[in-house]
Chain A
Amino acid sequence: KNEVEQSPQNLTAQEGEFITINCSYSVGISALHWLQQHPGGGIVSLFMLSSGKKKHGRLIATINIQEKHSSLHITASHPRDSAVYICAVKEGTGNQFYFGTGTSLTVIP
């Protein structure tokens, strides 16, 4: 089983700050998924990546396969970014995803 660890568990930031959320995993993977869960429960896909870097608006996701590590960055954070951010990994040719416990982000106006 792939052990997925996220840091920090909780994060409070002032509006406008640059935010980084980290994800480390223990076994080589074929894909890594960043998800966002707002209060009230809905889970939304942010990024799916297997190498390099992806950008969507103010969100940037990077992955370092050799170091088994991924980061999610939020530039110019806004209160609407307040949510739980979840990292999930998929191993090799398997069909299962393994999830971190999430990082709870609160952005204060």
Chain B
Amino acid sequence: DAGITQSPRHKVTETGTPVTLRCHQTENHRYMYWYRQDPGHGLRLIHYSYGVKDTDKGEVSDGYSVSRSKTEDFLLTLESATSSQTSVYFCASGGLANEQFFGPGTRLTVL
């Protein structure tokens, strides 16, 4: 499996506070993705990146922003966390062959 790590792995925060999740990959993959996973829903794409400084929105991007200043790092920021953003967040990366490799996930609770 590709080397993909996420930090933090668990976070509890309060409504209205900013939160940044980090994804780091060591495979030199071009594509990186942020998903959220909620009961009753499949994984849903928040944002993705197709290169350094190149990002695009997914289907549930409202309230989230991303940045990719280096190939290996993809940051997800919740500018002002809300309870509806309580979820498990997965990062994934992939090359041109389409296959995605997932990080271990971050469990975020917004009180």
User: Is the Cβ of A30 less than 8 Å from the Cβ of B98?
Assistant: yes
User: Is the Cβ of A45 less than 8 Å from the Cβ of B104?
Assistant: no
User: Is the Cβ of B43 less than 8 Å from the Cβ of A96?
Assistant: no
Which of B35, B59, B88, B92 touches A41 (beta carbons < 8 Å)?
B88
For the complex, give the distance between the alpha carbons of A7 and B41 in Å: 14
Chain B: interface residue count, which band?
20 to 34
Q: A1-B59, A31-B98, A96-B58 are in contact. Are A86 and B43 (CB under 8 A)?
A: yes
Please give, as numbers and ranges, the residues of chain A lying within 8 Å of B33 by CB-CB distance.
97
For the complex, give the distance between the alpha carbons of A96 and B60 in Å: 12
Quote the shortest CB–CB distance from A29 to chain B (angstroms): 10
Main secondary structure, interface of A, reads: strand
24 A-B pairs with C-beta separation under 8 A: A31-B98, A33-B99, A33-B100, A41-B88, A41-B104, A42-B102, A42-B104, A43-B90, A43-B92, A43-B105, A45-B1, A45-B100, A45-B101, A45-B102, A88-B100, A95-B31, A95-B48, A95-B56, A96-B45, A96-B59, A98-B42, A99-B42, A99-B43, A99-B44
Chain B contacts to A: CB under 8 angstroms? 1, 31, 33, 35, 40-45, 48, 50, 56, 58-59, 88, 90, 92, 97-102, 104-105
